[in-house]
């Protein structure tokens, strides 16, 4: 009696169906925790916009910018905060659950029992994180756009839909790839260092509160921050939403986002497979 192996197309279809089932499970869990998701996504951007775009103008302490007035700063802030939410949500939604699964319970072993290559399990986690990042961007965009005092309204419009979609998608994939890499290489006992050592520097040096071009008076910092993926997310969204303020050349941030997503995904999936099989 001989056994036959599935034909490659049939096998590939079965693997894709398995990954889709894992993805559907994660999204179902997200739906049951939708309230927590909304609070986690909205709270920090809402507080920042409330203070800078509502409280400061009301008390006569508006933040000025080269474009003039507190409204100019609000215009700079909106794309940066959307980029921050995308990146932070991608890292958090992948890294934190993964650290727990690699922990004492070894829940990850249940996942990798699925009839697919180990790297596809990691790719499924990246896809889940990217979807959550896109949903987070859709939720936070109206929040950061609409919360402001009179006279401090941001001048933000989607000037290029194709560019806007490309930046959102690749930023979400890049953030989730970062989450997969961090969740794979960080030990559970060191997870508290994630925010102080990784998230905090990325945030403050990610061109959220200022445009990259305005760092010209500090040339060493202007080029040092190019190692930060959040810079390209912020500048890409500024190109799509606020091109009147100036931004990094389009080819440069698109190249960084696409190339960074590809390289970081390959590295993260490789480390994930090594960690699972070790």
Distance (Å, whole) CA 52 – CA 46: 10
User: Which is nearest to 146 in space by CA: 27, 245, 240, 53?
Assistant: 53
Please report whether residue 130 resides in a domain. Answer: yes
Distance (Å, whole) CA 256 – CA 159: 21
Distance (Å, whole) CA 151 – CA 225: 32
Residue 183 in contact with residue 211, Cβ under 8 Å? no
- CA 177, 132, 144, 164 dihedral sign is positive
Confidence (pTM): 0.83
Please report whether residue 5 resides in a domain. Answer: no
Write down the pLDDT at residue 121: 82
CA end-to-end span of the chain: 35
Please report whether residue 18 resides in a domain. Answer: yes
Domain that holds residue 18: 11-277
Write down the pLDDT at residue 59: 74
Please report whether residue 6 resides in a domain. Answer: no
Distance (Å, whole) CA 278 – CA 275: 5
Write down the pLDDT at residue 33: 73
Residue 135 in contact with residue 129, Cβ under 8 Å? no
Distance (Å, whole) CA 13 – CA 219: 51
Report the chain (278 residues): mean pLDDT per 10 consecutive residues: 52 66 72 75 77 74 50 80 90 83 67 71 87 88 76 80 95 94 82 77 89 91 94 94 88 95 94 83
Domain count, the chain: 1
3's torsion region: left (phi>0), alpha (psi -120 to 50) or beta? beta
Please report whether residue 1 resides in a domain. Answer: no
Query: Is residue 13 within a helix (H) or strand (E), and if so which, with residue range?
Result: helix 8-32
Residue 86 in contact with residue 168, Cβ under 8 Å? yes
Alpha helices in 33-160 (DSSP H): 34-49, 56-58, 69-101, 108-111, 118-146
Write down the pLDDT at residue 245: 81
């Amino acid at each position: 009696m001989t056994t036959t192996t599935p034909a490659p197309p049939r096998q590939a279809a079965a693997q894709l169906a398995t990954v889709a089932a894992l993805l559907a499970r994660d999204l179902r869990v997200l739906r049951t925790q939708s309230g927590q998701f909304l609070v986690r996504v909205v709270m920090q951007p809402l507080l920042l916009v409330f203070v800078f775009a509502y409280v400061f103008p009301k008390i006569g302490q508006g933040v000025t910018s080269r474009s003039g007035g507190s409204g100019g700063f609000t215009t700079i802030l909106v794309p940066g905060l959307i980029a921050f939410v995308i990146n932070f949500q991608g890292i958090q939604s992948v890294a934190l659950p993964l650290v727990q699964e690699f922990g004492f319970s070894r829940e990850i072993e249940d996942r990798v029992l699925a009839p697919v290559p180990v790297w596809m399990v990691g790719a499924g986690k990246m896809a889940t994180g990217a979807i959550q990042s896109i949903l987070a961007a859709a939720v936070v965009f109206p929040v950061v756009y609409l919360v402001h005092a009179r006279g401090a309204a941001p001048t933000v419009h989607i000037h290029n839909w194709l560019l806007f979609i490309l930046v959102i998608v690749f930023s979400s994939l890049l953030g989730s790839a970062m989450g997969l890499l961090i969740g794979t290489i960080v030990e559970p006992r060191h997870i508290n260092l994630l925010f102080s050592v990784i998230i905090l520097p990325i945030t403050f040096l990610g061109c959220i509160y200022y445009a990259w071009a305005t760092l010209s008076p500090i040339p060493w910092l202007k080029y040092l921050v190019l190692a930060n993926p959040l810079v390209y997310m912020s500048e890409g969204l500024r190109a799509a939403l606020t091109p009147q303020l100036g931004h990094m050349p389009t080819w440069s941030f698109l190249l960084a986002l696409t190339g960074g997503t590809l390289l970081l995904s390959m590295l993260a999936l490789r480390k994930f497979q090594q960690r699972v099989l070790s």
